[in-house]
Amino acid sequence: MDKFAKGAVRAQKAGFDGVELHFSHSYLVNSFLSRVWNKRQDAYGCQSLENRARFGLRSCALLKNAAARIFPVGVRINGREWGAKEGTTSEESVGFAKLFEQAGANYIHVTGIGYGFGHKMCWMFPDFRPYPEVTDDTREIADALKTTGALAPYAEAIKKAVSIPVIVVNNLTPQMGERILEQGKADLIAFARRLMADPELPGR
């Protein structure tokens, strides 16, 4: 856990403006948050939201103590997980967001993940499909995320529950992004692949 703090201090010294704690997709901290992975019965176990969040909460708190107070610390979480019955629900994500806000997070970045092939594969891209056809166990996420702005309802649910800014991502167009902002479903929108294709997009 203290490695997050050490990493953030290093980033701060190197001149970065802030850090984002990656608690989403299927990385380390999500393996505590998500019941897909977390089968523990100890204080970090799957018995309660607080226990599932404990690793992340302690990492966040250590980091907030170590870095300068003005250094923004965001937390990226799955707004929902598809394709597994133990996958994180929207309600659980809202609970996690509230806990991370209390732990000092300066914003929440909402992404999502789907599981397929007996949980062996995790994915987040609607157009990243198993060849040649979407399989039965990956159909749920493929259908869920194929429309632009599909994660907006999960960001909105979190935004209603916290007072820090909420970012939404995934398969957005600039037009859909504007609509989401106008409708107050999120405070910021994020692009990944569009910026790789056109880094000048935000200035247009």
Residues that bind ligand FMN (CB under 6 A): 22, 25, 111, 124, 169-172, 191-194
Quick count: other Cβ atoms within 10 Å of Cβ 121? Answer: 16
27 is catalytic: yes
Q: How far is the CB of 29 from ligand FMN (least distance, A)?
A: 12
For 53, 54, 110, 163, 187, the CA distances from 61, given in Å and listed in that order, are 12, 10, 20, 18, 24
Q: Compute the least distance from the CB of residue 97 to ligand FMN, in Å.
A: 16
Given the residues 27, 44, 115, 131, select the one marked as catalytic.
27
Of 25 and 54, nearer to ligand FMN (C-beta) is 25
Q: Which is nearer to ligand FMN, 55 or 123 (CB)?
A: 123
Contact 142, 129 (CB under 8 A): yes
Q: Closest separation between CB of residue 126 and ligand FMN, Å?
A: 8
**Which residue's CB is nearer to ligand FMN, number 25 or number 185?**
25
Burial letters 143-155, b for 16+ CB under 10 A, else e: ebbeebbbbbebb
CB 64 within 8 Å of CB 97: no
Indicate which residues carry an active-site annotation: 27
